[in-house]
Amino acid sequence: MTAAAVTPATGLSHGRGVALMAAAALLWSIAGVVTRHLEQARGFEVTFWRSFFMLLSLLVLLPLLRGRSAFAALRRASAPVWLSGICWAGMFSAFMLALMWMPVAHVLVTMAAAPLLTALVARATIGQRIAPRTWGAIVAAGAGIVWMYGTQVTGASLPGLAVALCIPLASAINWTVVQHAQRHGVAVDLVPAVLLGAALSALATLPGALPFVASARDLALLALLGLVQLAIPCLLVVRCARVLQAPEIALLGLLEVIFGILLVWWGAGERPAPQVLLGGTLVVAALVVNELLGWKEQTR
């Protein structure tokens, strides 16, 4: 398929798919800078409201996009869909909590290691082979993360680091569950899984969010995150996945790291330390090289 070709099922060209995926990465990246402008909401309340507004957004958007059958998949959701939903809930919750406790750059770079951690989890649980190029990327990315955190981790930041590491771990388990299910002929629709994730995240964080202290400005910003930073990009990625290959999605998704660091630097004055930039560059470079080599192998 050439770049100008259009997939009949979606009416989406490859070029537009790339543009939409880049737009999704940009929308994802606004979380850091927006949270830095909250007035009163903190911790679990921030996580609750973002997940709650995402849930509301999907409940409105899905019927518009999929018609009356939008929620039929939820009624017949299989075990893998529920497991995926739990993983999404973990990612949604851990991401916002980590942003409350750590610099945005640390969280984004740690989260970016998810594809490599997925390879390790898939190897340990379902015996999926890891290519030599991926082993090299895992070592390089690990070195980058150690370099990034090595001189900055203190007793106060250890909880934030632990929560940040839950993001790529939950992502790795999620994609391993999806791959295992698909190998056994069980299709996993990610849209209801994401919807379940939003609902479970809101329910899990509600007790810790009480009593609510968010101002009207905070609620407006968190509603923006629920709709613009989560719901819309998730729907865009589901559509892009029909015309883009997995390495393309992975590479374009890395734009979130770059956009997010630049936005919080420009919009909130949160300048990353030199070792964070160096370690983050090593992680992103390892991921880019691994995905490009994998893409080349698929092309062959």
Domain limits, the chain: 11-66+78-299
More confident residue, 132 or 88: 88
Report CA torsion sign: 48, 29, 109, 197: positive
User: Do β-strands 6-7 and 12-13 pair in parallel, antiparallel, or remain unpaired?
Assistant: antiparallel
What's the one-letter identity of residue 206?
L
State the chain's mean pLDDT as an integer: 86
Quickly state the pLDDT bin for 6 (edges 50, 70, 90).
very low
Please report, for residues 6, 15, 18, 158, 291, the alpha-carbon distance to residue 2 in angstroms, rounded to integers and kept in the order given. Answer: 9, 9, 13, 48, 20
What's the one-letter identity of residue 197?
G
Q: Write down the pLDDT at residue 3.
A: 35
Q: Write down the pLDDT at residue 2.
A: 32
The phi, psi pair for 128, rounded to 5°, reads -70, 135
Identity of the highest mean pLDDT range in 56-65, 88-97, 246-255: 88-97
In DSSP notation, 221-248 reads HHHHIIIIIIIHHHHHHHHHTTTS-HHH
Query: How do residues 108-146 score in pLDDT, each as one tens digit?
Result: 988 888 888 888 888 888 888 888 888 888 888 888 888
Please report, for residues 31, 49, 97, 280, the alpha-carbon distance to residue 206 in angstroms, rounded to integers and kept in the order given. Answer: 20, 9, 13, 33
Other beta carbons less than 10 A from residue 249's beta carbon:
18
Q: What is the pTM of this model?
A: 0.87
Query: How do residues 197-248 score in pLDDT, each as one tens digit?
Result: 999 999 999 999 999 999 999 999 999 999 999 999 988 988 888 888 777 7
Q: Alpha carbon 205 to chain centroid distance?
A: 19
